[in-house]
């Protein structure tokens, strides 16, 4: 009898754990050619990636030359899309902003990705670079982030909302959105120049033509990351619910771009420093200064994360109470 009860408890625990696991968003490697690594953002350790490996929150997937990875996105066990990660690319899986957040968020720190999301899945997918946030609910598109700090979003099908610190643009099929490190953006018709590989190659040529200037420009952009984030306070009494929701969402997107900018810019600086190791003495000062800026930004981003979390939690509480009052009022009017 005791053994039977014990067995029932074990089976229940296993089934409950399967339910919990099936509710998570998963990023599973379902195809790989070449060599890729899975890395934790806050520790200096890499694990070789294989078919069947999963990339969890706050982990990076990094591909090297002559490598391509196919990531399958699933929610509650159901496939919702896939991402092709070509060679020399780094992506970061962002954690949920709040406990009730159902958004899938990735940061592109280097290279480019091709994304295909099934339509009408009821979940938003966000791809962030240092200066753009691409938001979709079902479409096919590509995003690239170049060494010179420029980003491009190339839409194949459906539509994409591209959000920056200064504007919001709805991208249509056959269009490409280009934004520079100085936030000078333009929307162009797709052509050979908007091909992500061509875009990355030009960015590489620009960055290495005068690599010291590029490093200094990237460090300047890093120093400006906290300065672009001065207005974090949201007054819930002065705006309607929809306006509050929009304001908070903008704040959340800005937070993700801050993370992508700090990680992406710093990654490029270190890459350029390592490529010019023959100028070791000259590079030491850049390495030290960029690390100092990176760590200071990490503290600012942590503070920003806390602000966003508290703001979202407060808004959700107010919204729940508001909805309860509205439902009670509607019920009383029907009596």
What does the DSSP assignment read for 97-118? Answer: SSTT---EEEEEEEEEEEEEE-
Pairing of strands 90-93, 104-117: antiparallel
Gap between the Cα atoms of 122 and 258, Å rounded: 26
Q: How many angstroms separate the Cα of 170 from the Cα of each of 60, 100, 155, 206?
A: 28, 27, 10, 28
pLDDT computed for residue 101 by the predictor? 62
pLDDT computed for residue 43 by the predictor? 65
DSSP class of residue 194?
Answer: G
Q: % helix / strand / coil in the chain, to the nearest 5?
A: 45, 30, 25
pLDDT computed for residue 76 by the predictor? 79
Nearest-CA neighbor of 147 among 132, 130, 164, 159? 130
Gap between the Cα atoms of 40 and 26, Å rounded: 16
End-to-end CA, the chain? 54
- Residue-wise pLDDT tens for the chain (335 aa)? 445 444 444 443 333 333 333 347 889 999 999 999 999 876 677 899 999 999 999 999 999 999 999 999 988 788 989 999 999 999 999 987 666 567 889 999 999 999 998 887 777 889 999 999 999 877 899 999 999 999 999 999 888 999 998 889 999 999 999 999 998 999 999 999 999 999 999 999 999 999 999 999 999 999 999 876 555 555 555 556 667 777 888 888 999 999 999 999 999 999 999 998 788 788 899 999 999 999 999 999 988 888 887 887 787 777 777 667 767 666 566 66
pLDDT computed for residue 309 by the predictor? 79
pLDDT computed for residue 329 by the predictor? 65
Region of residue 66 (phi > 0: left; psi between -120 and 50: alpha; otherwise: beta):
left
Pairing of strands 78-85, 90-93: unpaired
**CA angle 172–187–108, rounded 5-degree value:** 85
Nearest-CA neighbor of 64 among 49, 82, 54, 44? 49
pLDDT computed for residue 100 by the predictor? 58
Nearest-CA neighbor of 164 among 83, 260, 241, 58? 260
Q: What's the pTM?
A: 0.84
Whose structure tokens read 């670079």?
A: 129
Gap between the Cα atoms of 3 and 235, Å rounded: 59
Gap between the Cα atoms of 172 and 160, Å rounded: 7
pLDDT computed for residue 38 by the predictor? 96
Two tokens at 78?
A: 């159901």
Sign of the C-alpha dihedral computed for residues 327, 328, 332 and 335 taken in this order: positive
């Amino acid at each position: 009898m005791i053994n039977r009860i014990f067995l029932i408890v074990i089976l229940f625990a296993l089934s409950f754990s399967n339910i919990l696991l099936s509710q998570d968003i998963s990023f599973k490697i379902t195809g790989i050619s070449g060599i890729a690594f899975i890395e934790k953002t806050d520790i200096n350790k890499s694990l070789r990636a294989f078919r069947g490996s999963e990339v969890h929150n706050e982990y990076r997937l990094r591909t090297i030359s002559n490598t391509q990875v196919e990531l399958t996105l699933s929610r509650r066990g159901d496939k919702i899309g896939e991402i092709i990660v070509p060679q020399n690319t780094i992506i970061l899986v962002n954690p949920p902003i709040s406990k009730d957040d159902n958004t899938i968020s990735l940061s592109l720190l280097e290279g480019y990705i091709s994304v295909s999301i099934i339509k009408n899945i009821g979940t938003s997918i966000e791809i962030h670079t240092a200066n753009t946030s691409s938001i979709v609910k079902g479409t096919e598109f590509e995003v690239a982030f170049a060494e010179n700090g420029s980003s491009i979003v190339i839409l194949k099908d459906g539509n994409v909302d591209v959000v920056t610190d200064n504007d919001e643009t709805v991208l249509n099929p056959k269009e490409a959105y280009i934004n520079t490190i100085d936030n000078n953006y333009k929307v162009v018709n797709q052509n050979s120049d908007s091909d992500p590989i061509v875009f990355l190659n030009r960015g590489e040529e620009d960055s290495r033509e005068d690599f010291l200037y590029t490093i200094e420009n990237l460090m300047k952009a890093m120093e400006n990351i906290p300065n672009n984030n001065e207005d974090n306070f949201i007054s819930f009494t002065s705006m309607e619910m929809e306006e509050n929701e929009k304001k908070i969402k903008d704040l959340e997107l800005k937070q993700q771009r801050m993370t992508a900018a700090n990680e992406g810019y710093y990654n490029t600086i270190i890459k350029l420093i390592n490529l010019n190791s023959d100028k070791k003495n000259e590079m030491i000062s850049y390495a030290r200064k960029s690390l100092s800026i990176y760590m200071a930004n990490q503290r600012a981003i942590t503070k920003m994360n806390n602000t966003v979390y508290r703001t979202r939690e407060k808004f959700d509480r107010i919204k729940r109470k508001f909805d309860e009052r509205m439902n009670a009022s509607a019920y009383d009017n029907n009596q």
